[in-house]
Structure 1
Amino acid sequence: MTDTTEIVIVGGGVAGCSVAYYLSLAGVKCTIIEQQGIGSQASGFSAGGLNPLEGAGVPGPLSDVAMESYLLHKGLFPVLKESTGVDYQWRINSVVKVAFDDEELPELRETFDSFTATSGFEADMLDSDQLLDLEPRISPDVIGGVVTRGNASLDSYKYTLALVQAAEMNGASVRSGTVRGLESSNGRVTGVLLEGSVLHCDQLVMAIGPWSRIAEPWMGGYIPVDPLKGEILRVELPGDSLSHDISGGGGSVWPKPDGLVWCGGTEDWRGYDQSATESARQRIVSGAVRLIPDMARARLVLHTACLRPVTPDWLPIIGRVPGLHNAYLATGAGKKGILLSPAIGKAVADQITQGETQLSVKDFEPARFAPPLIE
């Protein structure tokens, strides 16, 4: 069976759904091919924190696009909520980072300096007494901390659903299937090979996260994206609720609007293993209890594991594939995938529809890993 669509997007995670959404705003119809379900991988299990001022590549090469994407997020929430009815709980929150010894204090000062130097963000340094006044359940062993304001959080699964629903309302479609390869001719992808059928297309976007290497033989290029396993615990914490995200001493806890507290997270190179492990649970609990001693009384509700797509330089891959005139990659955003998703989606959509984008993604083109075969 043969079918045709303007643009095929392979992958129904947050990157692929964002590309679909921004293409739909430009009036371009696309088809998302997803094997297991929208947001069924890391996009649906992320803690949903949006911090444009810290993390891999920030400060550094990701700084500009991280802030651009953060600002896109701020504008997206009311638009998506109104158009789809999906409340993915986007909110500005306060984050507390603590130190248990003097060696950890310089990192807190760096956070303070970064937030106070950025418009729209704030921070205060706190001593141990001030920390316990702010969050009485923090360990009395902390010696100091910093409280920041300006970061945002969201429900990553609902956010991904909102993107795809808005795209569908504008003419996009979602198709369940497994991609087996590509058809190409004269430097152009002409179709996507599915089980028992071919979906012909004018353009192709590969957004398959940690599985991106599967496409290397199809595209004739090097796509160095590997899976970084992360595990998170969702627990019920008895007593008064926490009012801040809190991290330090090897632990992180994120109170959620539904009353659960998420605890994390791990980083392990375990290939494509997505099992929830007892060793990871013990590490997470140990860090959480050191941070909030009452976490020892928490009841485990859910233990999740997912794979984040990471490149050798910890920077995303965004743009046209060398050697193919009409194929694009949107992958490799690592632990910043939710934060960067609006910028990734808009940048790829801009490149497809306008030939260029004003977003700061030039340094993240696929060609940085391999010289272009054609121009």
Structure 2
Amino acid sequence: MKRQTIVVGGGVIGLLSAYGLAAGGVPVTLIDASDTGTEASWAGGGIVSPLYPWRYSAAVTALAHWSQDYYPGLGEVLKQQSGVDPEVHETGLYWLDLEDEDHALAWAQREGRALHRVHMKEVHAAVPALGDGFAKAVYMPGVANVRNPRLLQAMRGALAQMPNVRIVERCPVHGFVREGQRILGVQTALGEMRAEQVVVAAGAWSGNLIARLGLELPVRPMKGQMILFKCAEDFLPSMVLAKRRYAIPRRDGHILVGSTLEDVGFDKTPTEDALESLRATAIDLLPGLADAKVIKHWAGLRPASPEGIPYIGAVPGYEGLWLNCGHFRNGLVLAPASCQLLAELMLGRAPCIDPSPYAPVGRL
């Protein structure tokens, strides 16, 4: 018989962890302090790639490559199950004026990923809205973005139809139910909830929760702010990225521009300074946006971790306690592989990738 499991956190990692476990026959209770899908997963841009994939460790690369290949099929399955299209939108991605272009190209050749130099004339022909102030570019075809609010709606909708899943929202988790070194559930605003296994997938709040056990999990919030424009559907045919800022087109003409990186604790208040900085970036990248109105401005809290390597696996010394957190800027990118790996470990199946770089043992 599959062991009753509580998943704490209703972002992309929590939702997809619950989905994978439930698909394996596990009875799952998903608990979120607010409504599911309303924190960092909702706030991100949804690029299905790390911003600069060649600058990450092999551990992040392994998760990213597995997930990138998996996303199109996942989008279709979730659309069929929920009736909500996550809009996995393949546009390709241009990086402009890279300082480490040679390193990027060498990484792509080594990893077998398509990435090549493109003359600026070709870039302007492909992206007519692009500004003139750029000297060189590299392009990766096939890179997608996912419309993350719809992805989250689709995942919640799919979970709601699974008979072995219970979703509990607006229910903060304050601690754990323990018997010695065994975890038997969680303490919540609605009282004690028991289960044989608990998965902490609470994003930037995971470290605070694990601290209730006297453990130090180095996952902390890093604020990121974004802005949104509405343009013609053909205004921006591809994603573009320069100086750590990016513009992402949605199919209906919405353009996301982001993002900031701010170490300000759990404050996610949008600021006027960030709005002006992001708008200046947007106009530098795409001068036509000077006449466009910013229709939305928001902030989210990324779960920062050392080197951006998530914690996935059992917590040593605490039987029944598991982690799937600390994905930093890449939660949406890495979610399919991270959650597949967690489900395989918990179900005793052969893992899709080597789990050792993500194991909590030796890292807490």
Calculate the TM-score normalised by the size of structure 2. 0.92
Match in the other structure for 2:199: 205
Kindly provide the CA deviation profile for residues 297-348 of structure 1, in whole angstroms up to 9, marking residues without a partner as x.
2211000100000112321111111211111011000111001111221222
| Pair 1:230–1:272, CA change in 2 (3 A) | same
Q: Which residue of 2 aligns with 1:64?
A: 62
Please say if 1:158 is aligned against 2:161. Answer: no
Deviations 1:35-67 (A, max 9, x none): 111111011121111116943863533222221
Which of residues 168, 172, 187 in structure 2 aligns to 1:175? 168
Equivalent residue runs for 1:218-233 within 5 Å: 218-233=212-227
Distance 1:358 1:41, change over 3 A: same
Q: Which residue number corresponds to residue 100 of structure 2?
A: 107
Q: Choose the corresponding residue for 1:31, options 13, 29, 40.
A: 29
Counterpart residue number, 1:304 = 298
Secondary structure of the structure 1 residue equivalent to 2:307: coil
Answer whether contact 2:247 2:258 (CA < 8 A) is retained.
yes
Query: The residue matched to 1:323 in structure 2 has which SS?
Result: coil
- Is 1:51 the counterpart of 2:45? The answer is no
The reply on whether 1:141 has 2:133 as its aligned counterpart is yes
Counterpart secondary structure, 1:261:
strand
**Aligned runs of 1:263-342 on 2, under 5 Å?**
263-342=257-336
Identity of aligned residues (%): 25
Following the alignment from structure 1 to structure 2, what is the Cα–Cα distance between the partners of residues 116 and 150? 16
* Residue 286 (structure 1) shift: 1.7
Q: Structure 1 residues 134 and 195, CA, compared in 2 at 3 Å: closer, same or farther? A: closer
User: What is the alpha-carbon distance in structure 2 between the residues aligned to residue 72 and residue 368 of structure 1?
Assistant: 30
Indicate if the aligned counterparts of 2:314 and 2:320 stay in contact, CA closer than 8 A: yes
Please give the root-mean-square deviation of Cα atoms over the aligned residues, in Å. 2.2
CA, structure 1 residues 199+304, in 2 after alignment: closer, same or farther (shift >3 Å)?
same
- Pairwise mapping of residues 237-276 of structure 1 onto structure 2 (< 5 A)? 237=231, 241-249=235-243, 251-276=245-270
- Pairing 1:11–2:9 present: yes
| 1:186-241, Cα deviation, whole Å (9 max, x unpaired) | 32111211225211111100111101122234333121101110001001347961
Q: Which amino acid aligns with 1:262?
A: L
Letter in 2 for 1:107: D
| CA distance in 1: counterparts of 2:189 and 2:95, whole angstroms | 50
Confirm or deny: 8 A CA contact 2:308 2:329 kept in the other structure.
no
Contact 1:253 1:261 in 2 (8 A): yes
**1:348 maps to 2:342:** yes
User: How far did 1:95 drift?
Assistant: 1.2
Q: Once the 2 structures are TM-superposed, how far is the Cα of residue 128 of structure 1 from its aligned partner? A: 2.8
For 1:294, the aligned partner's letter is G
Contact 1:57 1:63 in 2 (8 A): no
* Structure 2 stretches lacking a partner, 5+ long: none
So what's the TM-score if we normalise by structure 1? 0.89
Structure 1 residue 349 displacement after superposition:
1.5
Name the SS of the counterpart of 1:24 in structure 2. helix
Other structure's SS at 1:336 match: helix
1:13 alignment partner AA: G
CA distance in 2, matches of 1:330, 1:250: 27
- 8 Å Cα contact 2:228-2:295 kept in structure 1: yes
Cα drift, residue 139 of structure 1: 1.8
